[in-house]
């Protein structure tokens, strides 16, 4: 591009950025309002931190294709709670090696190993929902389900071990996007203590003999970037990352999917026409294909639309290591860039504000959709998340008819991931 045709980086003019930070946390349309005003790229400041926001396919692919000029970045609270070994906080070869190690837990054969247990969990959940007295907080049930899939199926934790991990994990999650000052009694101080207990527990798990019915044996003997075996402390931080990355996100996708079906009965009728023709349970070895795009196009269009309108990861970050050009705008070195997925998913031609899964079967979606990210940090758990969502969707809808309880707050709390404020109260018909 001719340098003279470069556009200057638009800025909101915020300096201290206290009001911008408050607006960011409280206004779900924070980014959209500013994109409408400044275009697809703008810079603002939040509590002293300059942040560039970008949206749209061109800007996002320009940024993520310049891998050598960017690196991963997380807010300080997330960085401290995940830990310095976590692959989310590593870059270059240290990141790549750990990704390769963790990716073993999400290979096709690993997913085949998980499938029978996930199918059983779906069956148990439907029995449990039939037994419970209404109103049932469905979003909480979805959280337990998503946590159990990772804790039981991937990490091999059962019973009280799993329950204790869950309660510490909830304390830890609450402080992820908080002020990272460890004042006694503050959410962050409690989360730091919970982190220590979580890591102790995860390290104990790793020190169990190989072949104790989890797939963690796949990690034994893993080497770091200079060929030295990864310490248990290092591996434990990777497992903590999996709980973080895989639990809240999938729980949000499941809750938002059920919420949309309950709010849009005509979509539920349309979906059930397909689901009623599918067999349940699937053959475990084939579970990841039985309800895929080819065999269950409506279900997959629904999932795509849910991830578009309520993306579990509304935005993720990079830091520029050198000046770079994105969609005709020069972004200086050492800037934090937020890839604003939530706003980007509604940016394009046509009515992108309405919920309409059918658009994905009619190839009528002009927005670039990257719910699992892209490039060298693309989500490692994508296949597991898709498997869980499809199995739960089919298993639950085949056996249950849910009815929404009136008079509740169905709006979404946005952070860390969208979730219905009153936990989506339902009864089983
Ligand atoms: C619907 C569910 C999920 C969504 C929407 C989602 C989305 C994402 C996104 C957008 C990223 C990219 C972040 C970046 O580029 O900085 C990411 C990264 C990641 N995800 Fe997921 N995720 C989901 C489920 C899962 C599950 C189930 C797991 C594993 C149990 C998982 C593990 C990871 C890991 C380890 C990373 C970090 C990759 C890296 O930094 O190299 N995710 N996810």
- Residue listed under structure tokens 């310490």: 231
Q: What is the pTM assigned to this prediction? A: 0.93
Write down the pLDDT at residue 4: 61
Q: Where are the domains of the chain?
A: 3-428
Write down the pLDDT at residue 2: 58
Write down the pLDDT at residue 214: 60
Q: To test the ligand 1 pocket, which listed residue (90, 249, 302) has its Cβ within 8 A of the most ligand atoms?
A: 249
Write down the pLDDT at residue 300: 97
- In this predicted model, what pLDDT tens digit does every residue of 137-184 receive, in sequence order? 999 999 999 999 998 888 888 888 888 888 898 899 888 878 888 888
Cα dihedral 374, 376, 378, 382, rounded to 10, equals 130
Q: To test the ligand 1 pocket, which listed residue (303, 372, 389) has its Cβ within 8 A of the most ligand atoms?
A: 372
Q: Which residues line ligand 1 (CB under 6 A)?
A: 72, 87-88, 99, 102, 150, 241-242, 245-246, 249-250, 253, 312-313, 316, 371-373, 377, 379-381, 384-385
Cα dihedral 233, 162, 284, 388, rounded to 10, equals -90
Give the separation between CA 240 and CA 246, rounded to whole angstroms: 10
Distance (angstroms) between ligand 1 centre and the Cα of 1 equals: 33
Q: Where does 224-344 show beta strands of DSSP type E?
A: 316-320, 324-326, 329-331, 336-339
| Low pLDDT (below 50) residues in the chain | none
3-428 under CATH 1.10.630.10, yes or no: yes
Distance (angstroms) between ligand 1 centre and the Cα of 175 equals: 19
Cis status of the peptide bond prior to 416, with omega within 30 of 0: yes
Write down the pLDDT at residue 48: 85
Distance (angstroms) between ligand 1 centre and the Cα of 380 equals: 6
Give the separation between CA 186 and CA 232, rounded to whole angstroms: 29
Q: Going by CA atoms, what residue is nearest to atom 16 of ligand 1?
A: 316
Give the separation between CA 206 and CA 209, rounded to whole angstroms: 8
Write down the pLDDT at residue 25: 84
- In this predicted model, what pLDDT tens digit does every residue of 235-275 receive, in sequence order? 999 999 998 898 999 999 999 999 999 999 999 999 999 99
Write down the pLDDT at residue 95: 95
Distance (angstroms) between ligand 1 centre and the Cα of 217 equals: 22
Give the separation between CA 118 and CA 394, rounded to whole angstroms: 12
């Amino acid at each position: 591009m001719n340098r003279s045709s470069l556009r200057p980086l638009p800025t909101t003019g915020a300096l201290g950025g206290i009001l911008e930070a408050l607006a960011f946390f409280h206004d779900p349309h924070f980014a959209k309002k500013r994109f409408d005003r400044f275009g697809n790229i703008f810079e603002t400041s939040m509590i002293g931190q300059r942040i560039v926001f970008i949206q749209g396919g061109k800007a996002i692919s320009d940024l993520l294709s310049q891998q050598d000029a960017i690196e991963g970045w997380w807010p300080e609270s997330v960085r401290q709670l995940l830990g310095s070994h976590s692959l989310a906080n590593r870059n270059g070869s240290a990141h790549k090696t750990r990704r390769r190690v963790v990716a073993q837990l999400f290979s096709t054969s690993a997913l085949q190993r998980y499938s029978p247990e996930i199918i059983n969990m779906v069956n148990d959940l439907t029995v449990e929902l039939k037994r419970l007295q209404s109103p049932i907080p469905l979003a909480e049930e979805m959280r337990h389900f998503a946590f159990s899939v990772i804790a039981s199926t991937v990490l091999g934790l059962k019973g009280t071990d799993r329950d204790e991990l869950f309660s510490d994990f909830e304390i830890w999650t609450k402080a992820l996007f908080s002020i990272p000052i460890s004042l006694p009694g503050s959410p962050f101080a409690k989360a730091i203590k919970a982190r220590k207990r979580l890591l102790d527990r995860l390290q104990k798990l790793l020190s169990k003999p190989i072949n104790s019915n989890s797939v963690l044996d796949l990690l034994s003997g893993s080497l770091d970037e200079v060929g030295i075996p990864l310490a248990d402390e290092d591996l434990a931080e990777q497992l903590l990352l999996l709980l973080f990355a895989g639990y809240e996100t999938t729980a949000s996708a499941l809750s938002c999917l059920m919420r949309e079906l309950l709010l849009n009965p005509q979509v539920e009728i349309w979906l059930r026409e397909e689901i009623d023709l599918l067999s349940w349970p699937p053959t475990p070895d084939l579970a990841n294909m039985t309800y895929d795009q080819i065999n269950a196009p409506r279900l997959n269009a629904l999932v795509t639309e849910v991830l578009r309108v309520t993306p579990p990861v509304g935005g993720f970050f990079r830091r520029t290591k050198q000046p770079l050009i994105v969609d005709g705008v020069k972004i200086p070195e050492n800037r934090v860039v937020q890839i604003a997925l939530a706003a980007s998913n509604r940016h394009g031609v046509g009515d992108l504000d309405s919920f309409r899964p059918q658009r994905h079967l009619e190839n009528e979606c002009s927005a670039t959709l990257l719910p699992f990210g892209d490039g060298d940090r693309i989500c490692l758990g994508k296949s597991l998340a898709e498997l869980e969502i499809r199995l739960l969707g089919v298993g639950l809808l085949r056996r249950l008819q849910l009815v929404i309880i009136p008079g509740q707050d169905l709006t979404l709390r946005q952070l860390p991931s969208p979730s219905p404020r009153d936990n989506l109260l339902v009864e089983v018909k």
